[in-house]
């Protein structure tokens, strides 16, 4: 063997012998899959590998308790599986996302890594199968129930640990601005056209409520994801699995993670489709569209500074042009909008993937996992960055309040007093002459300056009620 060649060992699987790097913890089936799927540089994310490690650990503990796995084997398997969960063996998971649609390659990758590491912990050499990946690590399991369970568990982990804290941070930043901007009255906009007055703080309270709504919907998705396929084994019938295995593993996983999991009562649907994953992805997509709206509103209100709306000043975080000196662009907002677009696209892949459940098994699980987990992580990072580098530093200008008195839709408050048609005529005349609604209404007579002061009070127009008529206040 030359100095540039890797040392190899020979292992055997059901198809024959296979060369495996001598230092690798994975085995023949993983090595074969590396050759079979040289498609992309995409790999399962850390959260998924963590979930698989936790499932394998809990399975070994339960199988030992049930008498299905000798304690002398179970203890090193538990330790090795925890190392997988902790990320100590991530380099041993080289397989492409674009692989067998059930994720069998990655399930066997995990079984082989855990088996060889467990054997090593027992003093045996890698590749000896002192601990067998199928007979010991995979007891009571199939790729067909482990992989969908791992998708559910990993999604629950990243929702709880990444996205929820990011939503909390963004909502808090938006509510702080809502309070700070409460006294600022500006012209509202519908159809991008001038509408009745609104408080800038009311707009930001609306943004905060969108984030709160997203968190509530994610809670619904978490409830759906808490029901897992484990225990169905190959097709949902539970063949080769102890009747108590899945329920016990779910209970153990709940202890390990603090996430309530439960074995599904409908195993055949749980493996034939990933409806709960699509539902969860839909809630993530909904948040992506909400975040796009929030970010784009802020981008528009910060447009200018001379020729745009210029109602907000966004934090200047970097120069905006290689040719225009002094230009500053809303780059944080633009990064958020791009992340949201990617998340919406990821949801489309998840939805399409669920259509490919043929008979007793979905065959698009790896790509569905990749897109769901990727979208969650992406939106979490974008939300945190948006809160920290943009929202917290927003400042209001005088441009919004200055436009209120010239707003044509102040005439809306006149309609209950003089009628819609008469108020419309006043608005049209104001638009043609450049006068304010107040000036035109006063010149037409019928209403005194004092009455108009009450009716056309912008502050009052930002709250419920009708001014200027009996019983309107």
**Contact (Cβ atoms closer than 8 angstroms) between residue 380 and residue 166:** yes
Q: Of 24, 25, 27, which Cα lies nearest the Cα of 14? A: 27
Q: How far apart are CA 331 and CA 245, in angstroms?
A: 51
Q: How far apart are CA 349 and CA 64, in angstroms?
A: 39
Report the distance separating Cα 99 and Cα 203, nearest Å: 47
**Residue 8 pairs with which residues in a beta bridge?**
21
Half-sphere exposure of 232 (CA within 13 A, CB side): 28
- What are the C-alpha distances in Å from 254 to residues 156, 260, 346? 11, 5, 28
Strand 193-199 with 227-228, pairing = unpaired
Give how far Cα 245 sits from Cα of 56, 68, 204, 424, Å: 12, 10, 50, 73
The strand pairing partners of 43, in sequence order, are 96
Per the residue annotation, which of 2, 14, 191, 322 is the catalytic one?
A: 191
| Catalytically annotated residue among 40, 237, 321, 443 | 321
* 191 catalytic per annotation: yes
The distance of Cα 402 from the centroid of its chain, to the nearest Å, equals 39
Determine how many CB atoms are found less than 10 A away from the CB of residue 363.
Answer: 15
CA-CA-CA-CA torsion for 387, 389, 392, 396, nearest 10 degrees? -120
Closest CA to 436 of 457, 406, 412: 406
Q: How many CB atoms within 10 Å of residue 239? A: 10
Please confirm, yes or no, whether 267 is among the known catalytic residues. no
- Catalytic residue numbers read 191, 321
């Amino acid at each position: 063997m030359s100095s540039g060649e890797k040392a190899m060992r020979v292992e055997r699987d059901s198809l024959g012998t296979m060369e495996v790097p001598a230092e690798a913890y994975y085995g023949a089936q993983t090595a074969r899959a590396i050759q079979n799927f040289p498609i992309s540089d995409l790999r399962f994310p850390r959260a998924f590998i963590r979930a698989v490690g936790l499932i394998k650990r809990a399975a070994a503990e339960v199988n030992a308790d049930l008498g299905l796995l000798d304690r002398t084997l179970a203890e090193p398997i538990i330790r090795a599986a925890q190392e997988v969960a902790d990320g100590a063996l991530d380099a041993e998971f080289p397989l492409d996302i674009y692989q067998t649609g059930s994720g069998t390659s990655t399930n066997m990758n995990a079984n082989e890594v855990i088996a060889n590491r467990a054997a090593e912990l027992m003093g045996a050499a890698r590749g000896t199968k002192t601990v067998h990946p199928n007979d010991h690590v995979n007891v009571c399991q199939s790729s067909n129930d482990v992989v969908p369970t791992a998708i559910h568990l990993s999604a629950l982990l990243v929702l709880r640990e990444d996205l929820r804290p990011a939503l909390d941070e963004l909502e808090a930043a938006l509510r702080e601005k809502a309070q700070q901007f409460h006294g600022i009255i500006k012209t509202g906009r519908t159809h991008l056209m001038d509408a009745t007055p609104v408080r800038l703080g009311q707009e930001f309270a609306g943004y905060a409520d969108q984030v709160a709504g997203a968190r509530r919907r994610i809670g619904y998705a978490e409830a759906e994801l808490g029901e897992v396929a484990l225990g169905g084994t190959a097709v949902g019938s539970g063949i080769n699995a102890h009747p108590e295995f899945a329920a016990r593993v779910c209970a153990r996983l709940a202890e390990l993670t603090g996430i309530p999991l439960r074995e599904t009562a409908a195993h055949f649907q749980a493996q034939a489709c990933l409806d709960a994953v699509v539902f969860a992805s839909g809630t993530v997509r909904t948040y992506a569209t909400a975040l796009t709206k929030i970010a784009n509103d802020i981008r528009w209100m910060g447009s200018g500074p001379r020729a745009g709306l210029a109602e907000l000043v966004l934090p200047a975080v970097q120069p905006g042009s290689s040719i225009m000196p002094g230009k500053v662009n809303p780059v944080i907002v633009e990064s958020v909008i791009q992340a949201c677009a990617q998340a919406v696209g990821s949801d489309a892949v998840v939805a399409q993937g669920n259509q490919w459940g043929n008979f007793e098994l979905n065959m698009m699980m790896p790509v569905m996992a990749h897109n769901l987990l990727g979208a969650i992580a992406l939106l979490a990072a974008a939300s945190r960055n948006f809160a920290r580098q943009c929202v917290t530093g927003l400042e209001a200008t005088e441009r919004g309040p200055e436009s209120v008195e010239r707003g044509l839709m102040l005439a809306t408050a006149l309609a209950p007093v003089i009628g819609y048609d008469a108020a419309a005529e006043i608005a049209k005349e104001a638009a043609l002459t450049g006068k304010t609604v107040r000036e035109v209404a006063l010149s037409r007579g019928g209403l005194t300056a004092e009455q108009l002061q009450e009716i056309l009070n912008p502050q009052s127009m930002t709250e419920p009620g009708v001014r200027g008529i009996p019983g309107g206040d």
